[in-house]
Amino acid sequence: MENKSIYGGVLLKAKNIMDFIMTCETPPILTEISRNTAMNKSTVLKILHTLELCGYVRCTGPEKRYSLGTVFLGYSQSVLSTFNIKSLAEPYLTTLRDNTNETINLGILQNQSAVLLSKLESPSAIKLYSDIGKGLRLYTSAIGKSLLSTFNQDEFENYLNTTELEQITPNTITNKAELIQDIEVARKRGYAIENCENQPDVICVGFPIVRSGRTYGAFSISAPKYRVKTTDLENFIKYGKIAQSKIIAAL
């Protein structure tokens, strides 16, 4: 948060209380909220009463456990209907394109495909083929594999059981066990690498955009294999992580 004069410190206290409630697997009681927000119980109780009056929290059961109110469902629908990941991410992806001098793609998950929302071309004379609005296979593309790395176990198993792993290029992964291992590696390191699996002689590095358990999309850096040396790949990962963290922070 920028260093600005803040009006209404109680709003920040209310936010801290709701943030804590949001992270709890089981609705907390007053004592737990007080202990974890570093506020005395009297202050917390007064704020909770006001939040309950506004519909922001609910108090239920004999133990008086607090959970977020259903009013947030309406807020979330409004946010989702007006939110534009393309507009938010584009300044950071433009910087990424300028830092790497390679093509940057942004996509979202839609109907078991990665649909491209935007493409920032490399200044190089050699252009890579991809169309805005086109759906990419999840298992062959860097953006797609990044999105797969955000799937939970049930979602990933369902994808594997309903998707035929076709051979698109000589490097395409068509063995389920190998794909599972590849996605697990991507999940652990926070990015996915596509080594000529979707287009011959094209290497891509993909990064998921995830915050608070919600996946907003993914982006990738794409380049012809002949000009990607080890140091170039390291820079793709370095600058990609920077862009990823800045986009997530801006969400």
pLDDT in tens, 212-225: 888 999 999 999 98
What domains, with CATH codes, occur in the chain? 9-75 (1.10.10.10), 83-250 (3.30.450.40)
Give the mean pLDDT of 192-215: 93
Reading the block at residue 89, the tokens are: 């991410």
**pTM value > 0.75:** no
**Residue-wise pLDDT tens digits, 95-152:** 999 999 999 999 999 888 898 888 898 877 455 555 666 788 999 999 999 999 999 9
User: Smallest Cα–Cα separation from 133: which of 147, 120, 116, 146?
Assistant: 116
Q: Residue 67's beta-bridge partner residues?
A: 58
pLDDT tens digits for range 36-72? 999 999 999 999 999 999 999 999 999 999 999 988 8
Task: Calculate mean pLDDT across residues 193-202.
Answer: 92
At residue 214, the pLDDT reads 87
Rounded to an integer, the average pLDDT of 229-250 is: 94
- Angle 150-151-153 from CA coordinates, rounded to 5°: 135
Question: Would you place residue 165 in the very low, low, confident or very high pLDDT band (cuts 50, 70, 90)?
Answer: very high
Residues in a beta bridge with 114: 109, 136
